[in-house]
Amino acid sequence: MSTNNLSEKAHAGTTGKKIGFFRELYINKGLYTMLVPGLIYFCIFSYLPLVGLYFAFVNYDFMAGWYGLKSTFVGLENFVFFFTSDQWITITVNTLWLNFLFISTGLIVQIVLALCINELSGKIFKKSTQTVMFLPNFLSWTVISVFSLALFGSDGGFINNVLLFFNIDPIMFYQDPAVWPAILVILRIWKGAGFGTVIFLSTISGIDQEMYEAARIDGANRLKSMYYLTLPMLKPTIVMLLIMSMGSVFAGDFGMIYALVGDNPLLRPTTDVIDTFVYRALRVNNDIGMSSAVGLVQSALGFIMVMTTNAIARKIDKDTALF
Amino acid sequence: MAKKERKIQQMSGKNNKMLYNSLSDKLLLMFCYILVAVFSIICILPLWIALVASFTNEGELMRNGYTLFPSKIDFTAYKMVFTGTSSILNGYGVTIFITVVGSILTVFFTALTAYPLSLKVLRHNRVLYFFIYFSSLFNGGLVANYILTTQFLKLGNTIWVLIIPGCLSAYNFFLMCNYFKTLPASVIESARIDGAKDVYIFLKIVLPISKPILATITLFAAMGYWNEWNKALLYIDDAKLYPLQYIIMKMQNQIDFLTSSYGAKALEALGDVALPTVTIRMATAMITIGPIILLYPFLQKYFIKGIMIGSVKG
């Protein structure tokens, strides 16, 4: 490599001197080559499936050729079919309602726990409880479904065993759709608490300690400094987490719900979400047209949600916006 | 410097204790201790109940239900799991394979993609960055991915379908990119001026000084692969390729799967006992999470570090 070439290379980056498109590619060929595998990967696994959004507008037939893209075009028929079915309201409401519950209860529990942990001073106690709280985060929903069988099982499940001890009638958890939103929320809190508290604790650790001393001198007790000092300092983090979760309010947690509820039709009225519905339409009923139509609506709504919340956040405070 | 900071922290910690000593403050502190302790117990309780159940005799479990302490320790369920004929051991092999290979591929290719874009040397830097970012905003959905994977790429019923889709993600890419941006630019710049090739700089200079982020991403990826079952549900029909998590899933939903995967041979080997369908599930769950529980206390700090890097800026 000539020295001339090298000095040019250093220039290209720092000054952005006008050089040709191909010249720039050539100069930075090493770096561009490194990018190739990753870019090809994203092309295939993120951008190629976008072509498949077209399946939402056809009467899918694999034999038609081009992986089914040559199937007959039917316009919005698949969408009409979905929106005239009586299921679409159930699954949309379930998805939004469950996500609302997950986000709100999750945040509240995580904030309260973080505030409490912050007050603790015993080092060993603090560390060991945090380790224990963090543990469920690493378990898969399939393993948790085994646990939930032990907890909520009708015959001898732990909770029914406790109820029996107090002479209370057992609850048939796996046959009663009404209790499932609560069960899902509890398990979700249980799994996510450790992860969330870490985020809040790291924010709290950045708060200037002198502020607490000042507050103390001004006569604030422990509760007051928690409420008037620590909590407001957590606001940016809360807003950021809220924005990040807004993008997925239309996305049902398939991994969680399918693992816990499975194919149990009794529980569908309260637990069937868009993602489990799409999965069933694809794998059980083989209705490719409708499941892609639902998927497209879901992706589009999710995209709109991210864009809107981000725009709102940007308007309120530039620093809280994600992009 | 670090020592001084720690000293200041300790002092402020002491101050903190001295600051609050009224009765209401003490009560509040007590409340905090109790709340945290109770929540921790709740966190560990389901695990404990399942652990106890896995060591309980099936008949006894049916009679007495799930309890906090076993009346007698019984290893039948574990014996069933570890007999040669069980599909669990095979599933363990599949899970270990996809975890090891998948994590290595994830961390290497994420770093390889993130490094050039973290440098700001490339003119098309921003376009390429957005190209990757957009993939996290909009996707083709389940159906398109299903047809792509099974019909276009023909990955269905291969072990690679459990590894390759989802190997690179925009999220990991951002974590890695953000870390690389914090590296001292002078080191990389001077190596470039000395005439070192980019690949050489990446492998010999950048990777060795980026161990913390490499460890974090490897752990995140390993966790994901270890807990993988969604893709097996969609793409795998061949029982030899079932990962552990999917085996548990199948056991939960189909009792015949459980019976067939242990088979008559295992029952014969253990003498004439009824197949302990419930305790086997508990034992399998325990064996699945065993490695996580054993390794996790040592790895916890890397996870926490990773979460903190991730939460600084989307």
Give the rounded percent of residues in chain B with a pLDDT score beyond 70: 83
Residue A108: pLDDT band (50, 70, 90) is: very high
Q: Residues with Cβ < 8 Å from B290, sequence gap 6 or more?
A: none
Residues of chain B found within 8 Å of residue A254, distances taken between Cβ atoms: 230
Question: pLDDT at position B85, please?
Answer: 60
> Mean pLDDT across chain A, nearest whole number?
83
Phi and psi at residue A58, to the nearest 5°: -125, 165
Beta-bridged to residue A72, according to DSSP, are A59
Hey, is the C-beta of A90 within 8 angstroms of any chain B C-beta?
no
Hey, is the C-beta of A186 within 8 angstroms of any chain B C-beta?
no
Hey, is the C-beta of A250 within 8 angstroms of any chain B C-beta?
no
Distances (CA, A) of A54 to A20, A75, A251, A302: 38, 10, 20, 18
Q: Is the pLDDT of residue A252 over 50?
A: yes
Q: Is the pLDDT of residue B312 over 70?
A: no
> CA-nearest residue of chain A to B252?
A146
Shortest Cα distance from A167 to chain B (angstroms)?
Answer: 15
Query: Could you read off the pLDDT of B206-258 as tens digits, one per residue?
Result: 899 888 889 889 988 999 999 989 899 989 988 889 999 998 888 877 766 66
Rounded Cα–Cα distance for residues B177 and B126 (Å): 13
For the record, the structure tokens of A286 come out as: 């083989």
Of the two residues A77 and A143, the one the predictor is more confident about is A143
Rounded Cα–Cα distance for residues A302 and B304 (Å): 28
Q: What DSSP string describes B135-166? A: TTT---HHHHHHHIIIIIS--TTSGGGGTSTT
Give the rounded percent of residues in chain A with a pLDDT score beyond 90: 19
Of B15, B28, B122, the CB nearest to A213: B15
Rounded Cα–Cα distance for residues B143 and A285 (Å): 13
Give the rounded percent of residues in chain A with a pLDDT score beyond 70: 91
User: Residue type for B160, please?
Assistant: W
Shortest Cα distance from B16 to chain A (angstroms)?
Answer: 8
Residue B105: CB atoms within 10 Å: 16
> Mean pLDDT across chain B, nearest whole number?
82
Report the Cα A58 to chain-centroid distance in Å: 30
Closest CA to B226 of B245, B240, B242: B245
Closest CA to A193 of A83, A105, A312: A105
Residue burial A247-272, b: 16+ Cβ < 10 Å; e: rest? bbbbbbbbbbbbbbbbeeeebbebbb
Residue recorded with tokens 């028929």: A77
Query: Could you read off the pLDDT of A37-50 as tens digits, one per residue?
Result: 999 999 999 998 88
For the record, the structure tokens of A158 come out as: 């732990």
Closest CA to B54 of B29, B27, B88, B26: B88
What is the pLDDT averaged over residues A118-136? 87
Q: Which residue stretches of chain A are H helix? A: 3-14, 21-27, 29-42, 48-51, 77-84, 87-119, 123-134, 141-152, 158-165, 180-204, 209-217, 222-225, 231-233, 235-246, 254-261, 268-271, 274-283, 288-316
User: Residue type for A320, please?
Assistant: T
Phi and psi at residue A322, to the nearest 5°: -80, -30
Residue A2: pLDDT band (50, 70, 90) is: very low
Query: Could you read off the pLDDT of A163-173 as tens digits, one per residue?
Result: 888 988 888 88
Question: pLDDT at position A243, please?
Answer: 78
Shortest Cα distance from B211 to chain A (angstroms)?
Answer: 20
Do residues B229 and B245 lie in contact, with contact meaning Cβ atoms separated by under 8 Å?
yes
Do residues B273 and B267 lie in contact, with contact meaning Cβ atoms separated by under 8 Å?
yes
Query: Could you read off the pLDDT of A195-227 as tens digits, one per residue?
Result: 889 889 888 888 888 888 888 888 788 888 888
For the record, the structure tokens of B142 come out as: 């389940």
Question: pLDDT at position B311, please?
Answer: 61
Burial grade of B196 (CB within 10 A; 0-12, 13-18, 19 or more): middle
Rounded Cα–Cα distance for residues B111 and B16 (Å): 43
Residue A110: pLDDT band (50, 70, 90) is: very high
End-to-end, the C-alpha distance of chain A in Å comes to 40
Rounded Cα–Cα distance for residues B276 and B261 (Å): 13
Query: Could you read off the pLDDT of A151-194 as tens digits, one per residue?
Result: 988 777 888 888 888 988 888 888 888 899 999 999 999 999 98
Query: Could you read off the pLDDT of B47-80 as tens digits, one per residue?
Result: 999 999 989 888 888 888 888 888 888 888 888 8
Hey, is the C-beta of A295 within 8 angstroms of any chain B C-beta?
yes
User: Residue type for B246, please?
Assistant: Y
Question: pLDDT at position B225, please?
Answer: 94
Question: pLDDT at position A5, please?
Answer: 43
SS3 B45: helix
For the record, the structure tokens of A192 come out as: 């996510």
Distances (CA, A) of B53 to A161, B39, B65, B86: 13, 22, 9, 20
Rounded Cα–Cα distance for residues B202 and B191 (Å): 10
> CA-nearest residue of chain A to B47?
A147
Closest CA to B40 of A124, A242, A254: A124
Question: pLDDT at position A318, please?
Answer: 67
Of the two residues B132 and B23, the one the predictor is more confident about is B132
- Cross-chain Cβ contact A259/B229 below 8 Å: yes
pTM of the shown model: 0.84
Do residues B177 and B117 lie in contact, with contact meaning Cβ atoms separated by under 8 Å?
yes
E strands, B76-187, in order: none
Residue A6: pLDDT band (50, 70, 90) is: very low
Distances (CA, A) of A303 to A50, A108, A297, A309: 14, 26, 10, 10
Specify the DSSP element, H or E, that contains B270: none
Hey, is the C-beta of A155 within 8 angstroms of any chain B C-beta?
yes
